[in-house]
Amino acid sequence: MFERWLKRDATLNGDCHRSEAHLIDLRQIVKTFQSTAGSFTALKGVDLQIDRGEFVAIIGKSGSGKSTLINMLTGIDRPTEGEVFVGDTAVHTLSEGQMAMWRGRNLGVIFQFFQLLPTLTVVENVMLPMDFCNMYAPRERRARAMHLLEQVEMAHQADKLPSAVSGGQQQRVAIARALANDPPILVADEPTGNLDSKTANAVFQLFENLVQQGKTVLMVTHDSDLARRVSRAVIVADGEIVNEYVAKALSTLSVDQLGWVTARLESRAYTPGASIITQGEVADQFYIITKGQVDILLHHPGGQDIPVTRLSAGQYFGEIGLLRGGVRTASVRAAGEASVEVVALDREEFSSLIADSEAMKATINRVADQRDIENAAAREREVSHA
């Protein structure tokens, strides 16, 4: 299934050919909706960068802002504040007419509810983007549409109206239509939500093949199994993106729990060599590294520090003092030649976190046990070399 996709034989207008920057760059995006009940901010200063050839899943609970985020990228909606760049195009500055033409040439959009035109046949729906953007010669369009329909096993339904085929079949047609102009970026909002597991897996394999060919795929999904198969997952919680290194460090938490933690984290930066925590002091915070590296050090009675290990972004420290006795058992210092950034959670919030998640509590305790072993081994090495 889904093999031998046609190579593109028409050229884009250059919008997505910038090679020295991110393909997709959302900068400080705020989106506020107004209603009779008042204002609601769906996105709160979101930054997101995606490079060519990435397969990115956007995940989050209903109402988290993930669909609004996708709408900023596709130009279906506009930010209240902030900027949206795709390649060389400042999407947020385009007029409605410019937006429609740009979108037709550069994005393939698969909607959650198909959005097929009910008065056009299946094959005419797939041909429509080619007609609208004047892509491919008119005599080639039906043949290309039929080829795409063959790949999603819908060629035999080509001359039927959308209402005459099932929901899963309509989604297959929507995927073929999204690929009609061979766009460099494919955006899919819950594309497998109305498909059986076998067909959903086949669609996902299609996305993987497209990524291997150099396309960029963004997929909004609630399917945790599919989300684990992408190259990067972006978690949206309460209108904010959860830092990917926070999500990595706290991987056993649910989306709701990650949102709770994110709202309570305090960011800090340290210059190379700066002390972050000191052995023997009161333990009052839990730290996650979001940029750079830190060295774990033990105090030596002679005054020289004993190196234990080096931690990188996506790892955490400070848990042992919070779990056991309330005193720091080691010192931590910013390593390397670049600045180090961490986020910190205070003692009470850390206690609430592990009380709310048995899985996270078990994981952190296992890490603490392993670090106790590493600390003891480092001391033994120091004694044997003395």
Could you report the per-residue pLDDT of 217-233, keeping only the tens digit for each?
999 887 777 777 888 88
Same domain, 262 and 158: no
User: pLDDT tens, 107-130?
Assistant: 999 887 788 999 999 999 999 999
Residue 51 pLDDT > 50:
yes
Does residue 26 sit within a domain?
no
Number of domains in the chain: 2
The whole-angstrom distance between residue 333's C-alpha and the CA centroid of its chain comes to 30
Domain stops at, among 241, 274, 303: 241
Q: How many Cα atoms sit within 13 Å of 121 on the Cβ side?
A: 13
Among 217, 342, 180, residue whose Cα is nearest residue 267: 342
Please tell me whether residues 275 and 234 are part of one structural domain: no
**Tens digits of residue pLDDT in 356-375:** 999 999 999 999 999 999 99
* Residues 268 and 221 both lie in one domain: no
Instruction: State whether 62 and 182 are in the same domain.
Output: yes
pLDDT of residue 203: 79
Q: pLDDT tens digits for 5-18?
A: 333 333 334 445 44
| Cα(174)–Cα(180) distance, integer angstroms | 10
Distance of CA 86 to the CA centre of its chain: 16
Which strand ranges, in their side-by-side order, compose the sheet holding 340-346? 266-270, 340-346, 285-291, 316-317
In a domain, 106, yes or no: yes
Q: 270 and 193: one domain?
A: no
**Which is more confidently placed, 274 or 10?**
274
Residues 326 and 190 in one domain: no
The verdict on 199 and 289 lying in the same domain is no
Is residue 249 a part of any domain in this protein?
Answer: no
Q: Is the pLDDT of residue 316 over 80?
A: yes
How confident is the model over 160-207, as pLDDT tens digits? 999 999 888 888 899 899 999 999 999 998 887 767 788 788 778 888
In a domain, 83, yes or no: no
Residue 348: pLDDT over 50:
yes
The CATH number of residue 276's host domain is 2.60.120.10
The reply to whether 300 falls in a domain is: yes
CATH code for the domain in which residue 232 is found = 3.40.50.300
**Quick check: is 235 in a domain?**
yes
Burial grade of 38 (CB within 10 A; 0-12, 13-18, 19 or more)? exposed
223 and 314 housed in the same domain: no
Residues 334 and 224 in one domain: no
Q: Which domain holds residue 184?
A: 52-69+95-241
Are 64 and 155 contained in the same domain?
yes
